[in-house]
Amino acid sequence: MQTVLDLHQRPLRSLRVSVTDRCNLRCSYCMPEEEYTWLERDHLLRFGQLTEVVRAATLVGTRRVRLTGGEPLLRRELWRLVEQLAALELEDLALTTNGVHLAQQVETLAQAGLDRVTISLDTLRPERFRKLTRRDALEPTLAGIEAAVQALPGRVKINTVLMAGVNDDEVHDLLAWAQDLGCELRFIEYMDVEGATRWSASRVLPASELLRRLDQAHGPVEAAETSTSAPARRYRLGSGQTFGVVASTTAPFCGSCDRARLTADGHLFTCLYGAEGLDLGAPLRAGEGAPELARRIRTAWAARTDRGAEERLARPDREASLTEAHTLRSAPQREMHTKGG
Ligand code: SF4
C-alpha cells in the first residue's frame, strides 16, 4: 500500500460511503424541499461493487470507512455490506443513521462486524421532532439508540445539529440524557452546504457561544483528548462528562481533512462542497477492479486542493452564494443527502 497525499500534504485516510440517497425523514437543514431528483435506481452500486471501491481506497491508504445515506438503514440487508467490508480489516467501520430503523438491525450489524454507530438526534421533544424532521418518529429513534447502546456498548455517539432559536434551549437536557445513557454527544454547527437551501447565518449557534453558555451553567469547561483528524474537538464538564463540538461553520478544519465521499451511484467527491465527482461507477461496470480504480482515486486525490468550508467562511456573500434548489435538481449528486453529509 502506498499512501497518497494531496497538494496540501493531506492523506486519504477515511471514506464516507453513501449507500442510498433516500431518507425517511425531511430535516430542515438537510432535505428542506418537498421534491427531489433521486439517483437512478439501476445506477446504484451493488454491495460487491461498493466493496470493490473501498478495497481500491485501502490500496491508497484509506483505513476508516463510515456508511451513510440518505438514511443507510433503508438499504435492504445492509448487514451484508458490513460483513464484506469487515473482511477488509479496516481500522474503523462505522455507521451514521437517524436511528428510526436501528432497533431492528443493530444487533445483526454488530454481529456482521460494525465497530461503531453515530445517531443523529436534534431534540428530545416529540412535537419539536415532528416539526424539525416533518415525521413522527421520535419514539422509534429513541428505541434505536437504546438498542445500539446494548449492542455496541461504549461505541455509540449522538450528533446534534444546534440551531439558534430552534433547539439551543435543549443543550442541558440533551447532555443529561446522554450522560444517563452512557453515550457521548457531539454538537454540530448548522452548515451552509449544498441542499441546505434555507440556511441562514442567524441560525448558526457558534461553538464559542455554546462553550460560553456551558461554562456559565456547569463551571469551567476543559479541553479533553481529541484525535487530530476527527472533526470534533472534545471537552469535559466539571462533572467529568465529555462531549464534542464540531465547529464546521465558524472554525472549519479543512487543513487536516483526510476524507472523501462516495455516492451510492459511484461518484467520488474529495470535498463536501465539490461540484463534480469522479465517476467510478462507469469503469466498475466496464469491469475494472480495485487496482485500476485505485489508480483513478490516486490521480484525483494527488491533484486535490479542496478547502471548501474555509473558502465559504471567507465569502462576504455567504448566504447569497447558496445553490438554489432548482440547480440541485439537475445535479442530484451535489445534494448533501446524496454525498453522505
Ligand atoms: S469543506 Fe471539504 S476540505 Fe474542508 S473539511 Fe469539509 S470536506 Fe474537508
Are 187 and 122 within 8 A, CB to CB?
no
151 CA to middle of ligand 1, Å?
32
CA dist 243 to 99, 136, 181, 221, Å? 20, 27, 13, 10
Residues with Cβ within 8 Å of residue 218, at least 6 apart in sequence: 237, 238, 239
257 CA to middle of ligand 1, Å?
6
Residue 59 has a pLDDT of 97
Angstrom distance (rounded) from CA 192 to CA 248: 10
CA dist 189 to 168, 233, 287, Å? 11, 12, 42
305 CA to middle of ligand 1, Å?
10
Residue closest via CA to ligand 1's atom 5 equals 254
Q: Is residue 273 part of a domain?
A: yes
User: Which of 272, 311, 313 for mutating ligand 1's site (highest number of atoms within 8 Å of CB)?
Assistant: 272
Q: Is residue 126 part of a domain?
A: yes
Residue 226 has a pLDDT of 83
Encoded amino acid at 97, one letter = T
**pTM, to two decimals:** 0.92
Residue 107 has a pLDDT of 98
181 CA to middle of ligand 1, Å?
31
Q: Is residue 2 part of a domain?
A: no
273 CA to middle of ligand 1, Å?
7
Are 267 and 281 within 8 A, CB to CB?
yes
Pocket of ligand 1 (CB under 6 A): 252-254, 257, 271-273, 306-309
Residue closest via CA to ligand 1's atom 7 equals 271
311 CA to middle of ligand 1, Å?
10
User: Which of 18, 261, 306, 339 for mutating ligand 1's site (highest number of atoms within 8 Å of CB)?
Assistant: 306
Domains in the chain: how many in total?
1
Angstrom distance (rounded) from CA 232 to CA 245: 5
Q: Is residue 176 part of a domain?
A: no
Residue closest via CA to ligand 1's atom 4 equals 254
As given in the structure block, the three cell numbers for residue 7 are 497538494
Q: Is residue 184 part of a domain?
A: no
Q: Is residue 94 part of a domain?
A: yes
Residue 161 has a pLDDT of 95
Crossing angle, helix 47-58 and helix 290-302, to 10 degrees? 60
Which residue bears the cell 465558524? 250
Q: Is residue 297 part of a domain?
A: yes
Per-residue pLDDT of the chain (341 residues; tens, 9 = 90+): 689 999 999 999 999 999 999 999 888 878 877 778 889 889 999 999 999 999 999 999 999 999 999 999 999 999 999 999 999 989 999 999 999 999 999 999 999 999 999 999 999 999 999 999 999 999 999 999 999 999 999 999 999 999 999 999 999 999 999 999 999 999 999 987 766 667 788 889 999 999 999 999 998 999 998 876 678 899 999 999 999 999 988 988 999 999 999 999 999 999 988 888 999 999 999 999 999 999 999 999 999 999 988 988 888 776 665 666 666 666 666 677 776 66
Q: Is residue 20 part of a domain?
A: yes
Q: Which atom of ligand 1 is nearest to the CA of 270?
A: 7
- Residue numbers of the domain that contains 112: 14-156+257-339
| CATH number, residue 44 | 3.20.20.70
